[in-house]
């Protein structure tokens, strides 16, 4: 028992006393900590106490890449609430550096006999990642729903924000403000949603009779720090506005501009993507393209529940239209070159 307590406590980063309270069903532990302890118990191969095993047939896995980007906790809240309304309990699985991998989570969820799995922001959207665990789920016939674009080989139902509309909204806004040198700060080059955003930018430029300046397109990892480093290249290239593939990337671009002695939005306008929590409280408040998380999350749960019930579900991608939210990080293009 003491060895089990020690191993689980180390895995989660809490005290052995906290683990003991969870295993004995005692109060005084947050729900997030309780869930983390139970997940660690499963991952380490220990049996849950009988009273904590629950009805495994009513469990649904919710696999997220991380929680640092506030859009993912927001999505988890929507999906968790929608699952609860339909009588399911979500099993939250989040990746972290050096922690449990996405494939390991899939093995864990299969061992827990979950009814289905919802993925958001997973390896299914990255061409260079391992996708064997998705094929395993398909072979098992387990209902799966993916949120946002996936590689073509995966044919699970998908619920996506329309990247073409998102980019066209951002470009239309910036061009109306007089910007001509517009940079694009996107995710990794093999990331399907970023591929779609770049294709949308090229399509918009072709429609308006201008060529996209490929020197104003940079790729980055999805973090504020990576966004800051990559945005410097756009600033050096003379961009007066930057369209970003996520809000953290946009915050990185704002930081890069300020450290270069530039003002946002006077010298450089910045547009984010997601409209995640607190973007209206940043300095300046961030203009961004809002993903309809509420509608997308509920649609994902409805599709999964229908599949679990044995109903035929659409395998075509359901596209949800985003909304431009204009705040303080965009303004008219500067009249004088930097």
User: For 16-48, how does the pLDDT look when each residue is reduced to its tens digit (9 = 90+)?
Assistant: 888 888 888 788 888 778 777 877 776 776 766
CA distance 330 to 220: 22
CATH architecture of the domain 55-159+294-320 equals 3-Layer(aba) Sandwich (3.40)
What pTM was computed for the model? 0.82
Q: How much is the pLDDT for 16?
A: 86
The β-bridge relationship of strands 269-274 and 287-290 is: parallel
CATH class, domain 163-291, is alpha beta
pLDDT score, position 40: 77
Which pLDDT does position 152 carry in this prediction?
93
> Domain 1-53: what homologous superfamily?
lambda repressor-like DNA-binding domains (1.10.260.40)
Instruction: Count CB neighbours of 20 within 10 A.
Output: 17
| 32, burial (CB in 10 Å: exposed 0-12, middle 13-18, buried 19+) | exposed
Burial of 160 (0-12, 13-18, 19+ CB in 10 A): buried
Span(s) in the chain for CATH 3.40.50.2300: 55-159+294-320, 163-291
What is the pLDDT, as a whole number, of residue 286? 98
Assess contact for 160 and 147: CB atoms under 8 A: yes
| pLDDT the model gives residue 287 | 98
Residue linked to tokens 């674009």: 149
For the four alpha carbons of 277, 280, 284 and 286, in that order, the dihedral sign comes to positive
Ranges of the chain whose pLDDT falls below 70:
1-2, 42, 45, 47-57, 97, 338
Q: Where in the chain is the domain with CATH 1.10.260.40?
A: 1-53
């Amino acid at each position: 028992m003491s060895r089990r307590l020690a191993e689980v406590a180390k895995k989660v980063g809490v005290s052995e006393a906290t683990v003991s309270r969870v295993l004995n069903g005692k109060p005084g532990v947050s729900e997030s900590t309780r869930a983390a302890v139970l997940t660690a118990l499963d991952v380490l191969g220990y049996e849950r106490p009988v009273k904590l095993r629950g009805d495994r047939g009513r469990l649904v896995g919710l696999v997220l890449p991380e929680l640092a980007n506030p859009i993912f906790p927001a999505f988890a809240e929507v999906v968790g609430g929608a699952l609860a309304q339909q009588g399911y309990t979500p099993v939250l699985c989040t990746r972290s550096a050096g922690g449990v991998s996405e494939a390991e989570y899939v093995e864990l969820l299969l061992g827990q006999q979950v009814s289905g799995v919802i993925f958001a922001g997973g390896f299914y959207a990255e061409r260079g990642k391992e996708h064997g665990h998705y094929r395993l789920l398909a072979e098992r016939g387990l209902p799966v729903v993916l949120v946002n674009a996936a590689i073509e080989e995966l044919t699970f139902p998908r619920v996506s924000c329309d990247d073409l509309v998102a980019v066209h909204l951002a470009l239309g806004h910036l061009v109306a403000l007089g910007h001509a040198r517009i940079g694009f700060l996107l995710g990794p080059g093999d990331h399907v949603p970023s591929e779609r955003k770049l294709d949308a930018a090229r399509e918009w430029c072709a429609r308006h009779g201008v060529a996209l300046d490929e020197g104003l397109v940079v790729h980055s990892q999805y973090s504020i720090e990576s966004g800051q480093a990559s945005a410097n290249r756009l600033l050096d290239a003379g961009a007066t506005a930057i369209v970003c593939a996520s809000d953290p990337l946009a915050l990185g671009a704002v930081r890069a501009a300020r450290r270069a002695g530039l003002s946002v939005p006077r010298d450089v306008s910045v547009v984010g993507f997601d409209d995640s929590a607190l973007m209206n409280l940043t300095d300046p408040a961030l203009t961004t393209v809002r993903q309809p998380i509420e509608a997308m999350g509920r649609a994902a749960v409805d599709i999964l529940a229908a599949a679990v019930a044995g109903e035929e579900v659409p395998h075509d991608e359901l596209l949800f239209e985003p909304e431009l939210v204009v705040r303080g990080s965009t303004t008219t293009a500067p009249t004088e070159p930097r």
